[in-house]
Chain A
Amino acid sequence: IAGITQAPTSQILAAGRRMTLRCTQDMRHNAMYWYRQDLGLGLRLIHYSNTAGTTGKGEVPDGYSVSRANTDDFPLTLASAVPSQTSVYFCASSDSASGSPDTQYFGPGTRLTVL
């Protein structure tokens, strides 16, 4: 059982380039999330999806887009990367129908550097 996998593990990207971070879960969780983690700011929600086919904006959505074509995959796209998007990105999933937050699991993260 893998849980949540993210790819790539790390990436250095030139400003202006397009980049897609991949996230896959095998727990059949209905909800998925993307967070970014920056020193001194903690984790901030970028986008979320309550179920396949739906997405919503989090606290810091600008410059990012997501799609949820199926239950397992939730890719995050940076259309035109900027240096302020340098961060560690975490994907998470949860069984939100359970009514309890103890089903939320995080992936290992993607370290992204935009130069």
Chain B
Amino acid sequence: QKEVEQDPGPLSVPEGAIVSLNCTYSNSAFQYFMWYRQYSRKGPELLMYTYSSGNKEDGRFTAQVDKSSKYISLFIRDSQPSDSATYLCAMGVNNFNKFYFGSGTKLNVKP
């Protein structure tokens, strides 16, 4: 079983839609939960991270962590064509050397 599971998509939505991206994980020791955005032929860039459980909001983006269900989500409000990218979740315990990444969900926002 992989440490982190993520639906690869692709997910196609119209501009302005609310997008929900999700990951599940198996290791209950994970404390750091990250979301990265990766444009085609580029390196990943960190969007948001949360420590332990709870929600975190940054503009149109909201990250949620449910440790009891081992489930994390990223919501994108008022999605824009510029949000079209692959979104990677990642998580770790408290050691940066041991981040585990999901395989990524490809998102396409249609104008």
Contact = CB atoms under 8 A, between A and B. Distances in A.
Interface in B89-105: 90, 92, 96-99, 101-104
A53 interface: no
A43 B90 CA distance: 9
A66 interface: no
Contacts of B60: none
Interface string A34-55: 0100001111110010100000
B42 to A, nearest CB: 6
14 contacts: A40-B103, A43-B44, A43-B90, A43-B101, A48-B97, A56-B97, A90-B44, A94-B96, A96-B96, A101-B92, A102-B49, A106-B45, A107-B43, A109-B43
Contact of B42 (A31, A100, A108): A108
A35 B99 CA distance: 11
B108 to A, nearest CB: 17
- Residue of B34, B46, B99, B104 most packed against chain A (CB within 10 A): B99
B43 A50 contact: no
Contacts of B42: 108-109
A50 B97 CA distance: 8
Contacts of A58: 97
Nearest to B104: A42
B32 interface: yes
B43 A31 contact: no
A45 B97 contact: yes
Nearest to B47: A102
Interface in B2-61: 4, 6, 8, 32, 34, 41-46, 49
Contacts of A41: 103
